[in-house]
Structure 1
Amino acid sequence: MKITDCTVRSYSAKHPTPIANGKYSYASTDIVFISINTDVGIEGHGWAHGTNVVVDTLLSLKDRIIGEDPFNVERIWEKMYLPKVYGRKGFETRAISAVDIALWDIKGKSSGRSVGQLLGGFRETVPAYIAGGYYEMGKDHTGLRKEMEANLASGAKAVKMKIGGASLEKDIERIEVVREVVGKEVKILVDANNAYNRIDALKMGRELDKRDIYWFEEPLSPDDIEGCAELCRKLDTPIAIGENEYTRWGFKQLMDAHAAHIYNADAQVLGGITEWKKVADLAMAYNVLVAPHGDQEIHAQLVRSIPNGLIVEYYDNNTNALKEAMFSSSMKLDGQGNVTPSQEPGFGVDLRFERMEQFKTYSSR
């Protein structure tokens, strides 16, 4: 089998109301897709969040992958990852990720197996948490309460909310509103998205210790490795980081420093499935857990495949403005807060490019 061609498409859909976390704000969902064709008629799809830099990098990578056997993912990855040209971190590495994801989709479709089976097939279902709790214009405690009530109605047994975009006192109030709604049996995860300095992170962490919070995500800058390690030593609440880290080498630095208890390794960011598996295996050697950041249609397959997979992030239409158009059917939570990854070959998702046409910003075909 050989790669014969590829198509790059990008899409952007505005949120009805811009959403914000502790440090960043988002007016739209922006996703870039690559569809890779082969000489046997099998087509694989990969995607990453981003805009023009991802598009430009994918177009420049095209000549590096055409003619290759898509099963040779290690060879292709090495051809793409050239630190002085592509990578070592940032949107160019996201482009490499999208290519690699598409290759694994081809591998699955060709072999008649899901990606989760190809990678290890450790379990059939995986726990999930609903990501949300964003700051929005006009969204008060009543709005937050309604959101969490809807999450419970969807079957959530774990929910995540944003902190760091308000004062410590106001964020504690928001956490207590969520706890009042979801009760003691539902897990609450909080995510600061790099908003705090070391002093404020420690203050908030000590408040979280009193409130049985499942994890404290990205309390500090992704480059403050020593600060995260210090929080791990001083707090009872587990520290989760890694959605902004790239490649096995970046994660090895974090793990060597004991900078977290849980690593949010995102295959759409760090270098694709091939690199994600290396990170997950490294985490197993360090006896730490992996709970990926990123789209559940990809990451549920990955968490399914490994013994040290903890939980998967679940996005609804409130956080992905393209989701309703992207897929013919959506993964749903069951009554126990779990998702069941598709058993269909590859990633088992049916992308609907024709329904996304109104959101298209670029196509190479």
Structure 2
Amino acid sequence: MTTSTAPTVPDTRPSRAAAVVDRITGVTLSSVTLPLANPISDAKVFTGRQKPMTEVVVLVAEIRTESGLEGFGFGYSKRAGGPAQLAHAVEVAPELIGEDPSDIARLWTKLVWAGASVGRSGASTQAVAAIDVALWDLKAKRAGLPLAKLLGAHRDSVRCYDTSGGFLHETIEQVCDNATRTLEAGIGALKIKVGLPDTAEDVRRVTALREHVGPDVPLMVDANQQWDRARAVRAVRALEPLDLVWVEEPLDAYDAEGHADLARTFDTPIASGEMLTSVAEHLELVRHRAVDVIQPDAPRIGGITQFLKLATVAEQHHLTLAPHFAMEIHLHLAAAYAHEPWVEHFDWFAPLFHEELETSGGRMHLSDRPGLGVTPTDRLRAWTTRSVTVGA
């Protein structure tokens, strides 16, 4: 006698279990004052609009959950705004307690509307950005993946250029020395600040750097919004023979029409976007075809959730993506962009994190560390001026 066993049929009935897999129990928000080794000057200092920069104030968000996971995020402000960002973040953070940290888009909207009376751009959304970055860091850690891999990376390394060695407070001889060290460190391109009162001096400095590094090193310039339309035309025309990758912020950041005129007139690509604080503001640049290179800053426009929205639009318009500053965040976002992007190398945040980002062959490389892949140092804790915990 033989006995037959019926095949096992999988149970395809819908599960009635709750979709929530974890809940937020606590959020710690901290303001960290990062001192800079030397006062930093760009064109805004030489036009009298700002004083030299001596520090960066970093807003840190650390999120904890019932399951014991922790997410780490940060934003920043330069010269002013740090206390405002912290105050706003502390006000809206209670909205997170008890929520599922995986529902990032919904939580972004909830936090923004909790503080919508002061607007949905600027300091309010910059405060939310640090929290948003921490939520994405946590989500990637839950998956055991680097953030770029969670988002769907197109590449494991990104072209990178250095800015921190090209400021106007240094002589062109110092800038050239900095450039040599930068290239030896495996960073593939250089950006130098322009926008001095004497445009001829700008051209002299850029020409000297081009002669120093040779014709094959990609070179960018940044006027930090300090030219008017007529002067920008003259300056870009004078710089065109130097074969620049782009001219950045030649005009006021909100002058989309002026940028569009430059983009139509010259072969040298026009770049802008770092000073805008919402996706809507960037869409004006796209609508006017004002830039060839778009430069959003995730901490400034509301975090990774908003950055991804803008990246989709930029991809559809075949724009080059070159996120501003905060390379610890932007390396991941650039790696997930469809068209070959750039990442800006700034070494200012190095004292805050144990990990260093690897550069070689002109590119910045992803690591296998989950999330953002950074952990805070004792110096970050020592430079913390105020810390507030909401929840457990």
* Normalised TM-score (structure 1): 0.94
Q: Is the 8 A contact 1:80 1:86 kept in 2?
A: no
Q: Percent identity?
A: 32
Query: Quick check: 1:362 aligned with 2:389?
Result: no
Q: Which residue, 99, 116, 129 being the options, matches 1:97?
A: 129
Q: 1:140-171: per-residue Cα shift (whole Å, max 9, x none)? A: 22212211121122122201111103410111
Residue aligning to 2:110: 79
Q: Which residue, 169, 176, 183 being the options, matches 1:145?
A: 176
Q: Which residue, 204, 208, 212 being the options, matches 1:177?
A: 208
Residue aligning to 1:134: 167
Structure 1 position 86, deviation (Å): 4.6
Give the greater-gyration-radius structure (CA).
2
Residue aligning to 2:60: 33
Q: Is the 8 A contact 2:187 2:364 kept in 1?
A: no
Q: 1:84-121: per-residue Cα shift (whole Å, max 9, x none)? A: 42532212221111111000001001111111011111
SS of the counterpart of 2:145? coil
Residue aligning to 1:342: 367
Structure 1 position 309, deviation (Å): 4.4
Distance 1:134 1:242 in 2: 19
Change (3 A) 1:190 1:84: same
Residue aligning to 2:356: 330
Distance 2:203 2:302 in 1: 36
Q: 1:39-96: per-residue Cα shift (whole Å, max 9, x none)? A: 1111111111121011111101111211111110111011122374253221222111
Distance 1:140 1:289 in 2: 31
**Structure 1, 220-229 or 19-28: larger mean CA deviation:** 19-28
Distance 2:122 2:173 in 1: 37
Mark the runs of 5 or more structure 2 residues left unpaired by the alignment: 1-21, 45-49
Q: Which residue, 347, 369, 376 being the options, matches 1:351?
A: 376
1:167-316 aligned at under 5 Å gives the runs: 167-316=198-347
Change (3 A) 1:290 1:86: farther
Structure 1 position 16, deviation (Å): 3.0
SS of the counterpart of 2:242? coil
User: How many residue pairs end up in the alignment?
Assistant: 356
* Normalised TM-score (structure 2): 0.88
Mark the runs of 5 or more structure 1 residues left unpaired by the alignment: none
Residue aligning to 1:110: 142
SS of the counterpart of 1:210? helix
Distance 1:238 1:85 in 2: 38
Q: Amino acid of the residue matched to residue 382 of structure 2?
A: Q
Distance 2:181 2:123 in 1: 34
Q: Is the 8 A contact 1:152 1:182 kept in 2?
A: no
Distance 2:185 2:200 in 1: 29
Q: Is the 8 A contact 1:228 1:260 kept in 2?
A: yes
Q: Is the 8 A contact 1:100 1:271 kept in 2?
A: yes
